[in-house]
Amino acid sequence: MRKETNIIKERRKLKNLSQKQLGAFIGSQAMVSRIESGQILPNAQSIYFICKELDITIDEYFSNNFEIDFNIVNFRNKLNYKYLHNDIDGLYAMYNELKLRKTLTLNNKHDILMLKATIYHTKFRIASTTDQNILIDYFNKLISWQLYDIYLLECTVNMLPVTLVRPYISDILGQYIYETVQYNQLDNITNLIIRFFETSLLQNKPIIIEWIIKKIEDIPLEDSLTHQVWLLFLIGLYRNEQHKIDQAYTILTILDDCHLKNIFKRIALQCAQMRE
C-alpha cells in the first residue's frame, strides 16, 4: 500500500505553499486536497507541474507514493490462502468488514476490489462493468508500473476481459526488459503472467494464450517449482496434452499440496464445461 507519509503535502509545507497556491498550477485547491488525502491520483500533466513547483523528481514522487509495504503483501497472501482453501465465508466476512468503514481511501477501495476479484475467481466470473471501469480508469493513468500496481493487477486480472489487460502486461514486461522494474519484482511479474494465462484460458482467448506462451519463451521469468507446475498444467490444459496435466498432478501429490491440486481440478472442470 502507499506509505502514509505524503511527499506532496510535506514538500508543499516546507515551501510554505498553501493548497490553494499549488492548486493554481493543476486546477484547484480541492484537487490538491483530494490528491494529498489519497482520494484521487493526479494525471501525467498534474504530476509534472506538482514535481516542478515542489522541486520533487519524478523518481522521488513514484518511490514515495507507490512504495510497496507489508500491508498489501499480507493482504494478498491472506486472500490467496482463503482462495486456495475455498473459504468463501471468510472472504465475504472480510468484504463486509471493509464495506462498513465510513470513509474509504483509494487504497481501501482497491482492497475491496481485490476481495471482490477473489470472490469472482472462486466462481470464474468477470466483474461488473462498474468495477471493471474503476480498475481500467486507474491502470490507464499509470505512467510507470510500480510494485503496488503489479500486485493490484495480479489480484484483479481475473475481473477484466483479457483483451483489455494485454497492453498492461506488455507495458510491465517492457519495463522489466529495460530494467525500470526491479529484478526483485520478478516473482510478482511471474505470478501475474500465470494469473493472466489462467484467465485467458477460462475466457477462451487462444490468440492471447499463444502470445503469452511466446513471451514466456522469450523472457526469463522466475522458475520456482510452483511456477513450473502452474505452467506445465496450464499449457497441458490449453493444448489438451493429458500427460502434462498428469505430470503436474503427480508433482503436487509428491509435494502433498492438495489445495493447489483442487484448484487445478476446478480449472480443468471449468474448461471442460466451456468446451462442451
Q: What is the pLDDT at residue 103?
A: 67
Q: What is the pLDDT at residue 194?
A: 95
Q: Burial letters for 24-33: b for 16+ Cβ neighbours within 10 Å, e otherwise?
A: eebeeeebbb
Q: Where in the chain are all domains bearing CATH 1.10.260.40?
A: 7-65
Which pTM value belongs to this model? 0.71
Q: How many CA atoms lie within 13 A of 206 on its CB side?
A: 6
Q: What is the pLDDT at residue 3?
A: 44
Contact 27, 46 (CB under 8 A): yes
The contacts of residue 49 (CB under 8 Å, 6+ apart) are 25, 26
Q: What is the pLDDT at residue 269?
A: 93
Contact 268, 235 (CB under 8 A): no
Helices (H), 18-161: 19-26, 29-36, 44-54, 58-65, 70-84, 88-99, 106-123, 129-140, 147-156
Q: What is the pLDDT at residue 104?
A: 65
Q: What is the pLDDT at residue 48?
A: 75
SS3 content of the chain, % helix, strand, coil (to 5): 75, 0, 25
Q: What is the pLDDT at residue 134?
A: 87
Q: What is the pLDDT at residue 64?
A: 64
What's CA 243's distance to the chain center, in Å?
32
Q: Which homologous superfamily is 7-65 in?
A: lambda repressor-like DNA-binding domains (1.10.260.40)
**pLDDT by position in tens, the chain (length 276):** 344 347 788 888 888 899 999 988 888 888 888 888 776 767 666 777 888 888 887 656 665 655 545 567 778 788 888 888 889 999 999 988 888 876 667 677 788 888 888 888 888 888 889 889 988 988 998 877 877 788 889 889 999 999 999 999 999 988 877 665 554 567 788 889 999 999 999 999 999 999 999 999 888 777 788 889 999 999 999 999 999 999 999 999 998 888 899 999 999 999 998 877
Q: What is the pLDDT at residue 183?
A: 46
